[in-house]
């Protein structure tokens, strides 16, 4: 099913929460709607799933507008769309009956068999008779996902499906999301404020900020050439780099263009040349005026290009000075951001244009495959 929204506006009590939203969901793909909390992701989801009405604008399903559909036609359409909310509500009954709910509404056959099957997939078969109100948040999220996919929707909306979950639940939900898309060609729309998640899953990415889509495109377009406002919004996440895995003197490293960064060896990236993304938290970077010896595997010389005071905490942006010169083309800019205190900045006398050493441990670098 093709879903398209045109000129969607939404206000609550005079406050505008969505503004001029124009999007087309990529069919059969994983779509990621990224944006910080409060950007309007859930509101947009409710409009796209016909749970709520836009103040103005139109949602098109397979090219036909949805505003003037009769309740029966709307119900038919809704029954082809699945939705898992951020904090899913569990009906006050057993896990099994929660999952069976939608099938019962539709008067389906073989309900018990279908329910058992999907509970096996989310690894909750063993607690199918337990009350759904006693579940942990990870289990509840899995029940909610099971409850939606047992209905075999053509499109499924997942609102922050992996926020604050235990690792097992996260893995199960991730695997299932990928499987639904690959094996059953289900269109997936996932809202997240997690950049890495969007990077890993998103084939088409929409960036929502303060009620507006500020960028949309393929994941590569959005991540490689982010608009400035997008970058500003997400700089809090820290340092995000694109690079490739290289093997140098038997050690696994990341080639970021200007510098090569040591990382904790990961068997997932045995192949040299694999494109990856890497993140590094700004608070994990140590600045020094002179080189010093430590157990940290990565230490580079960089030039300070920006110093920003953010309420007593100083954000220092540095451009590394290449420590090898074998590349023929001009290497891409890879600014590193570090956080230091105001006192450190004053004691070290940091100024824009100065050169400093920045040091971080290999274990602080988080590496994610860029290829799906």
Partner 1 sequence: MENILSALSKALSLIISLDREVFSIVLLSFFVSLTAVFFSSLFSIPLSLLLALRKFPGNRFIVNTINSLMAVPAVAIGLVVYLLISRRGPLGVLGLLYTPWAMVIAQATLVTPIITSLSIQTLKRVGSMVKETAVSLGASGWQVVTTLLKEAKSPLIVIFIVGFARVIGETGMTMMVGGNIKGATRVMTTAIALETMKGDFELAVALGIILLTVAFVINIILQAMQGAGR
CB of residue 6 vs partner 1: minimum separation in angstroms?
A: 23
Considering only 8, 21, 59, 85, the residue that binds partner 1 (CB under 8 A) is 85
Considering only 29, 147, 199, 297, the residue that binds partner 1 (CB under 8 A) is 147
Cβ proximity to partner 1: between 145 and 219 the closer is 145
56, two tokens: 């103005």
Considering only 56, 64, 73, 75, the residue that binds partner 1 (CB under 8 A) is 75
Q: Are 231 and 317 in contact (CB under 8 A)?
A: no
The rounded distance, in Å, linking the Cα atoms of 288 and 280 is 18
Considering only 37, 55, 56, 92, the residue that binds partner 1 (CB under 8 A) is 92
59, two tokens: 């949602």
Dmax (CA) of the chain: 74
Report the 10 Å Cβ neighbour count for 323: 11
The rounded distance, in Å, linking the Cα atoms of 8 and 33 is 15
Report the 10 Å Cβ neighbour count for 338: 25
CB of residue 98 vs partner 1: minimum separation in angstroms?
A: 10
Cβ proximity to partner 1: between 106 and 355 the closer is 106
Instruction: List Cβ neighbours of 38 (8 Å cut-off, separation of 6 or more).
Output: none
Told to check if 107 binds partner 1 by CB under 8 A, we report no
Told to check if 6 binds partner 1 by CB under 8 A, we report no
DSSP state letter for 80: T
Told to check if 63 binds partner 1 by CB under 8 A, we report no
Considering only 7, 56, 62, 89, the residue that binds partner 1 (CB under 8 A) is 89
Told to check if 83 binds partner 1 by CB under 8 A, we report yes
Cβ proximity to partner 1: between 88 and 211 the closer is 88
Binding flags for partner 1, 20-59, as an x/- string (CB under 8 A):
--------------------------x--x-x--------
Q: β-pairing, 81-84 with 155-159? A: parallel
Q: Residue 277's closest CA among 317, 220, 333, 216?
A: 220
Instruction: List Cβ neighbours of 85 (8 Å cut-off, separation of 6 or more).
Output: 42, 144, 159
Cβ proximity to partner 1: between 37 and 92 the closer is 92
Segment near partner 1 (CB under 8 A); pick from 1-9, 88-96, 277-285, 303-311: 88-96
Cβ proximity to partner 1: between 43 and 298 the closer is 43
The rounded distance, in Å, linking the Cα atoms of 274 and 14 is 50
Considering only 12, 91, 184, 324, the residue that binds partner 1 (CB under 8 A) is 91
User: With 0-12 CB in 10 A as exposed, 13-18 as middle and 19+ as buried, what is 89?
Assistant: exposed
Tell me the torsion sign for CA atoms 41, 42, 47, 50. Answer: positive
Considering only 19, 78, 244, 345, the residue that binds partner 1 (CB under 8 A) is 78
Q: Residue 317's closest CA among 263, 233, 239?
A: 239
How many residues bind partner 1 (CB under 8 A)? The answer is 21
Positions in the binding site for partner 1 (CB under 8 A): 46, 49, 51, 71, 75, 78-79, 82-83, 85, 88-89, 91-92, 101-102, 105-106, 147-148, 151
């Amino acid at each position: 099913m093709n879903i398209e929204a045109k000129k969607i506006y939404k206000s609550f009590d005079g406050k505008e929460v969505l503004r001029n939203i124009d999007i087309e969901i990529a069919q059969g793909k994983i779509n990621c709607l990224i944006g910080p909390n409060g950007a309007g992701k859930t509101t947009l989801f409710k409009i796209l799933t016909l749970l709520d009405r836009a103040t103005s604008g139109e949602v098109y399903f397979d090219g036909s507008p949805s505003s003037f559909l009769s309740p029966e036609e709307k119900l038919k359409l809704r029954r082809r769309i699945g939705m898992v909310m951020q904090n899913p509500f569990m009906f006050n009954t057993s896990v099994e009956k929660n999952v069976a709910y939608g099938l019962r509404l539709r008067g389906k056959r073989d309900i018990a068999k279908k329910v058992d099957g999907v509970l096996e997939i989310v690894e909750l078969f063993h607690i199918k008779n337990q009350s759904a109100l006693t579940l942990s948040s990870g289990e509840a999220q899995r029940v909610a996902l099971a409850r939606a996919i047992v209905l075999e929707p053509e499109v499924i909306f997942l609102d922050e499906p992996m926020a604050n979950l235990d690792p097992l639940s996260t893995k199960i939900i991730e695997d299932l999301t990928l499987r639904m898309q690959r094996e059953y060609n289900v269109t997936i729309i996932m809202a997240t404020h997690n950049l890495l998640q969007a990077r890993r899953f998103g084939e088409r990415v929409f960036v929502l900020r303060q009620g507006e889509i500020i960028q949309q495109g393929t994941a590569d377009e959005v991540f490689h050439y982010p608009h400035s406002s997008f970058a500003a919004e997400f700089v809090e996440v820290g340092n995000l780099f694109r690079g490739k895995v290289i093997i140098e003197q038997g050690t696994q490293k990341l080639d970021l263009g200007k510098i090569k960064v040591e990382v904790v060896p990961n068997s997932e990236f045995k192949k040299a040349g694999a494109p990856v993304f890497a993140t590094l938290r700004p608070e994990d970077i140590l600045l020094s005026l002179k080189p010093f010896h430590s157990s940290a595997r990565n230490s580079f010389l960089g030039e300070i290009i920006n110093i920003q005071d953010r309420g007593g905490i100083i954000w220092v942006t540095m451009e590394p000075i290449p420590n090898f010169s074998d590349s023929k083309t001009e290497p891409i800019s890879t600014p590193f951001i570090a956080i230091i205190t105001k006192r450190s900045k004053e004691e070290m006398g940091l100024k824009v244009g100065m050169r400093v050493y920045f040091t971080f441990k290999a274990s602080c670098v988080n590496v994610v495959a860029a290829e799906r």
